[in-house]
Chain A
């Protein structure tokens, strides 16, 4: 994982040679209050904010540059509240990566993450989706109820990837997103056409009329 998340758009590397940009749909699932929205904010804006309970689902994007390819993460940050559970399939359907987030200081959320896992396993064949177990709130070490070993062994048993993060301090957050990016490329990207290419919608830019002039070449025609 040598790459860094570029903070400036227009990385010199991308300018010199055209690189493909692939769309990756990633969904965050887990109980309310485990820090899904805070993680999403860290992924996309590199900041920590105390958030209100998510309403429905928040959609955010972040671009990750790997050596071979650029990934445009479309992050679906779902609400953890029970009232939205019946609509959650709408958000996770077709996801290339799913983060199952729990709070290391709250055992109930760890159990709830396993319920989400069972639901996802019903929907997906292994290998088509990168499933990642995330123990968040690593900063609450003193109030820990779920040990790192427990998380790791659950992940080993069920073929998940595992990371403990702190959305508060930002610890392991960047590494997590990069890890997901690599795995998605390896597992999902290997299948032809599994990831669709992302193209910015071209639009007429009235400020730069010179860029497109259908008559420019007319004058040059002739003897």
Chain B
């Protein structure tokens, strides 16, 4: 049974760990993670009533705590996003997740067109425009629950010998055309490499959240497996009001594990960009890259060689220099005892708890040693990195500290393989003066990001 058809009066519906609702300021339902929006229109009406009631007193409702549930509200322009969670996550974390949902909607419609639509018609039914995209939002929420990338706001790249990664990057670097801005290669839904236009990222970097949204879009839909896709897409953190044009094509049909994503600012550039793909495909064929990529796997914590260490997440802080880095983290596969979905979720919940303590606004911590029921965790944040480790329950504090020293040494040794050290660049604009942030995107072209014609 699809989540859309769920009976919203049933107990099972109430027992979902995390509900997410999106509604318009007029109280019109736009999205519900479980159950159909129609069936929930009165529930959403109540939510909107709460928002308006507090608003009428010149206040903003942020959250409601009840026995076992946290309700978090987020208002963004004409949209109201609500999360009802029985997880132990903090309000701040839940609000961060709602923001991802908002951004995913923006990535499909742009912020400018959403505001314009609701300026003209307050009770517009936005589901008309989101039709066909519910799966993308569902997929995002599942990822948010299961992938720590969202919690850490960092990207995990596929571990790869730096020589192979460099080769592939060079192939992408050579296949360019005017107005090409980002060339991204993805394997098994993980980032393999990303090449960026020099002048475009001079004054703004590509945020991890934008990459997460792209990865989710590709992972959540099988639509990209048919032919070559040419679609408008907005990167909300880069510029919430403009579209890029994305060329998306798998390089290894019918398996469809290696996906190429080329982003251009020129909507007419399809043939030129498709030609770049042809070049990339040829070069990868000549170097046998695809079969090398196919062998690549994530790594096991046992490779670190520290006996009590079960799992970790390591996020280095990049050096603030002119060489814009991509915020990344590395983490091994979750292995026994964290093989089942429940156990994975339990470990992630522990990490979320550690994260909330480290990043607490009232009392942030630098180091936390937490002895849980079935494991011991240690989180540590310095000016150079943020680290979360999970040990067997019998580890001693001294052992854990030694283990972390060993782990840090191992990561240092492996960092060329675990991270994209220097994200490569290319220059596709003959006239760099034109290419300030978003300036090349077709913001001026009202036919393109405007949905006014529909009203």
Residues of chain A having any CB pair with chain B under 8 Å: 32, 37, 40-41, 44, 49, 51-60, 75, 77, 79-87, 89-91, 201, 203, 206
CB-nearest residue of chain B to A75: B227
Residue among A86, A203, A206 making CB contact with B448, cutoff 8 Å:
A86
- Shortest beta-carbon contacts, A-B, top 4: A56-B231, A53-B132, A60-B227, A58-B227
- Smallest distance from the beta carbon of B210 to chain A beta carbons, Å? 17
- Can you list 8 pairs linking A and B with CB atoms under 8 Å apart? A49-B226, A51-B226, A53-B223, A55-B231, A59-B227, A87-B448, A201-B278, A203-B282
A82 near B454 (CB under 8 angstroms)? yes
Name the distance in Å between B160's Cβ and chain A's nearest Cβ: 25
Q: Mark B86-130, 1 if CB is under 8 A from A, else 0.
A: 000000000000000000000011000000000000000000111
B447 touches A57 (CB 8 A): no
Q: Which of B190-243 contact A (CB under 8 A)?
A: 217, 221-224, 226-233
Name the A residues within 8 Å of B131 (CB-CB).
32, 53, 81-83
Tell which of A41, A84, A91, A201 touches B226, judged by Cβ atoms closer than 8 Å: A41
List the B side residues contacting A86 at CB < 8 Å. 447-451, 453-454
- A37 cross-chain contacts in B, Cβ below 8 A: 223, 226
A121, B138: Cα distance in complex, Å: 39
User: Which residue of chain B lies nearest to A56 when distances are taken between CB atoms in the complex?
Assistant: B231
The answer on a CB contact under 8 Å between A59 and B274 is yes
A49 to B59: give the CA distance in the assembly, Å: 52
Chain B nearest CB, measured from A108 CB (Å): 13
A57 near B229: Cβ-Cβ < 8 Å: yes
Chain B residue contacts of A49, Cβ below 8 A: 226
Q: Is B380 an interface residue (CB 8 A)?
A: no
User: Does chain A have a CB within 8 A of B409?
Assistant: no
B133 contacts A by Cβ under 8 Å: yes
Known: A41-B226, A51-B223, A54-B223. A59 touches B270 (CB 8 A): yes
* CB within 8 Å for A83 and B451 given contacts A32-B132, A55-B221, A56-B232: yes
Contact status B453-A58, CB under 8 Å: no
Q: A52-B223, A55-B223, A87-B448 are in contact. Are A81 and B132 (CB under 8 A)?
A: yes
Number of chain B interface residues as a range: 35 or more
State in angstroms the CA–CA spacing of A160 and B342 once bound together.
Answer: 58
B residues adjacent to A (C-beta < 8 A): 108-109, 128-133, 135, 217, 221-224, 226-233, 246, 248, 267-268, 270, 274-275, 278, 282, 286, 447-451, 453-454
Interface of A is mostly: mixed
**Known A-B contacts A52-B135, A59-B274; A82 and B229 likewise in contact (beta carbons under 8 Å):** no
* Known interface pairs A52-B222, A83-B129; A58-B451 also in contact (CB < 8 Å): no
| Residue in contact with A58 in the complex, picked from B133, B229, B232, B275, CB distance below 8 Å | B229
B128 touches A55 (CB 8 A): no
B228 touches A82 (CB 8 A): no
Closest-by-CB residue of B relative to A58 is B227
- Distance in angstroms between the alpha carbons of A77 and B282 in the assembled complex: 26
User: 8 other contacts beyond A58-B223, A85-B454, with CB at 8 A cut-off?
Assistant: A51-B223, A53-B135, A53-B223, A55-B229, A59-B230, A60-B228, A87-B448, A90-B268
Give the interface centre of A40, A83, A206 by most chain B CB atoms within 10 Å.
A83
- The complex places the Cα of A54 from the Cα of B131 at a distance, in Å, of 11
The answer for the CA separation of A57 and B226 in the assembled complex, in Å, is 10
A75, A90, A206: the one within 8 Å of B267 (CB): A90
- A177: shortest Cβ distance to chain B, in Å? 16
Report A-chain residues with C-beta under 8 Å of the C-beta of B228. 58-60
- Does A59 lie within 8 Å of B454, measured CB to CB? no
Which chain B residues border A75 with CB–CB below 8 Å?
Answer: 227
Residue of A40, A56, A60, A81 with most chain B CB atoms under a 10 A cut-off: A56
A77 pairs with B221, CB closer than 8 A: no
Cβ of A54: which chain B residues have Cβ within 8 Å of it? 223, 226, 229
- B454 engages A53 (CB within 8 Å): no
Question: How many angstroms between the C-alpha atoms of A59 and B355 in the bound complex?
Answer: 44
A56 to B268: give the CA distance in the assembly, Å: 14
* A87 CB contacts on chain B under 8 angstroms: 232, 267, 448
In the complex, chain B residues whose CB is within 8 Å of the CB of A83: 108-109, 129-133, 451
Task: Give the CA-CA distance A164 to B108 in the complex, in Å.
Answer: 33
Task: Return chain B residues, CB-CB under 8 Å to A56.
Answer: 229-233, 246
| Minimum C-beta distance from A56 to chain B (A) | 2
Also in contact, A85 and B453, with CB within 8 A (given A55-B217, A59-B274): yes
**CA A56 to CA B248, docked complex, whole Å:** 10
What separation, in Å, do the CA atoms of A203 and B283 have in the docked complex? Answer: 11
> Which of B108, B226, B454 has the most chain A CB atoms inside 10 A of its CB?
B226
Q: Which of A53, A77, A85, A89 contacts B227 (CB 8 A)?
A: A77
Contacts of B451 in A (CB 8 A): 83, 86
Cβ-defined contact, A81 with B227, below 8 A: no
Select from chain B the residue with minimum beta-carbon distance to A60: B227
Report the bound CA distance from A79 to B136 in whole Å: 15
What's the Cα separation between A208 and B226 when bound, in Å? 32
* Cα separation A154 to B448 with both chains bound (whole Å): 31
Interface residue from B128, B135, B448 paired with A82 (Cβ < 8 Å): B128
Closest residue of B by beta carbon distance from A206: B286
